[in-house]
Amino acid sequence: MRLVTWNVNGLRAIFKKGFPEWLQVHQPDVVALQEIKCSPAQLDETQTHPAGYQSWFFPAAKAGYSGVALYSKQAPLQVLHGLGEDDFDSEGRSLTAEFPDFYLIGAYFPNSQGGGRRLEFKLRFLDLMQLYVERLAQRGKPVLVCGDFNIAHQDIDIHDPRGNRNQAGFLPEEREWMTRMLERGHQDLFRQQNPEPEQYTWWSYLNFARKRNKGWRIDYFMGTPSFQIPYRCRHYPEIEGSDHCPVELELL
């Protein structure tokens, strides 16, 4: 089973940039999308139901902002919208799909923004996400959290750690949350199998950053301590269409 997470930076836009062709050629079983920036009412049938896929959407109340979606070949046992707190759910931040052997949360974590303007908001989201994940795991299945975390955890996850020390996404408080999660036994599945530097999932559109591979790794698959399914995890920096690239988790 192959799971893919991808911040598409506009679902309607990426449908014009090769996404349907990629979907039909690559054929992932589940695709969790972030920052869709639209509602289902703004999509046509080929976008809401690509051939062979069922879909679920959780748009933000604000038009053209945030939002997540899920495409799946296999119908989940259930799909849950949001985390149960309106501050975050009104921004369309997460979808949870229950499958027979695991839960999958596709999430778009808030950006703490310049000067940490939304840092307090993000920290509340992080605390709630941790509580949500660990309570979900108590139901007896491992939990996978995937998506754009808007956090580069360690120096290895960012091209210029010294120059970005005070930038949103690399603030000490954000990074400390990731550290605490790992200390509690949660797993950074990509990094476990890919210890090499310069493996990024997001690049600025400025200064040819992607061509020069001056990026950040902010898109993740995280597994709860009980996740023991053999897997492979990789990213696809060569796949364009967004300022992020897809990350894939293959369950063996």
Q: What is the pLDDT of residue 92?
A: 98
When pLDDT is averaged across residues 210-218 and rounded to a whole number, the result is: 98
pLDDT in tens, 139-181: 999 999 999 999 999 999 999 999 999 999 999 999 999 999 9
Residue 245's pLDDT band, with cuts at 50, 70 and 90, is very high
pLDDT in tens, 67-96: 999 999 999 999 999 999 999 999 999 999
For the chain, give the percent of residues with pLDDT over 70: 100
pLDDT in tens, 97-156: 999 999 999 999 999 999 999 999 999 999 999 999 999 999 999 999 999 999 999 999
Q: What is the largest CA-CA distance in the chain?
A: 47
- Out of 148, 157, 188, 219, pick the active-site residue: 148
Q: What is the CATH number of domain 2-251?
A: 3.60.10.10
Separation of alpha carbons 100 and 239, rounded Å:
30
Separation of alpha carbons 60 and 111, rounded Å:
15
- Using DSSP, state whether 195 is helix, strand or coil: coil
Q: What is the pLDDT of residue 128?
A: 98
Q: What is the pLDDT of residue 190?
A: 98
Mean pLDDT computed over every residue of the chain: 98
Residue 228's pLDDT band, with cuts at 50, 70 and 90, is very high
Q: What is the pLDDT of residue 97?
A: 98
Query: Known catalytic residue: 127?
Result: no
pLDDT in tens, 158-169: 999 999 999 999
DSSP string, 124-156: HHHHHHHHHHHHHHTTSS-EEEEEE-----SGG
pLDDT in tens, 184-208: 999 999 999 999 999 999 999 999 9
Q: Where do the structural domains in the chain lie, given as residue ranges? A: 2-251
Q: What is the pLDDT of residue 218?
A: 98
Q: Are 247 and 146 in contact (CB under 8 A)?
A: yes
Residue 241's pLDDT band, with cuts at 50, 70 and 90, is very high
Q: Give how far Cα 246 sits from Cα of 4, 26, 197, 201, 208, Å.
A: 6, 11, 18, 7, 19
